[in-house]
Structure 1
Amino acid sequence: MSIKNDAPGMKGQRGRNQDGQLRQKRGDTHVGTIEKNYNIDLGVRSDMHVSTYLKKNNITSLNDLINDK
């Protein structure tokens, strides 16, 4: 099975679940990885988990975080 960018503006390659929805980014991804991939500075330690950052800042998804910055 080949994974491809299947939507305009998608960054990188994201797999899909059985029902066709994009899989969720793992919550234990480090904030530093997100900052590097999307060229943003979130102003926190780079080893913080994304799920912790989202919860502390009352952000519902990684997409909301990226598009609001």
Structure 2
Amino acid sequence: MAKKDAPGMRGQRSRNDSGPLRQKRGDTNVGTIEQQYNRDFGVRSDMHLDTLLEQTGHKSLNDLIRSDAGKKP
């Protein structure tokens, strides 16, 4: 099994040449993110991540996941 790239991350994410983790693609479907992080954001599953971030005012997927948005009881 491959070593995770950063603590607390699910799976591996590559890093940019300058070192930081690359951002999640904006055209990723929200349904994919909901399944991966066990969340329900109450939007259509075919909505793109960029659109959801714009609507919620979050700057990144990390900010969205760490917020209370979509947490299942």
CA distance in 1, matches of 2:46, 2:32: 9
Q: Using structure 1 for the length normalisation, give the TM-score.
A: 0.89
Matched, 1:10 2:9: yes
Deviation at 1:20, TM superposition (A): 1.1
CA distance in 1, matches of 2:23, 2:3: 16
**C-alpha RMSD of the superposition:** 1.2
- Paired residues in the alignment total 67
Please tell me whether the aligned partners of residues 29 and 46 of structure 2 are also in contact (alpha carbons under 8 angstroms): yes
> Higher relative CO (CA 8 A, sep ≥ 6), structure 1 or 2?
2
Q: Structure 2, unaligned stretches of length 5 or more?
A: 69-73
Aligned to 1:43: 42
Deviation at 1:29, TM superposition (A): 0.1
CA distance in 2, matches of 1:6, 1:29: 20
Deviations 1:24-57 (A, max 9, x none): 1000000000000000000000000000000011
Q: Using structure 2 for the length normalisation, give the TM-score.
A: 0.85
Q: Which stretches of structure 1, 4 residues or longer, exceed 4 Å deviation after superposition? A: none
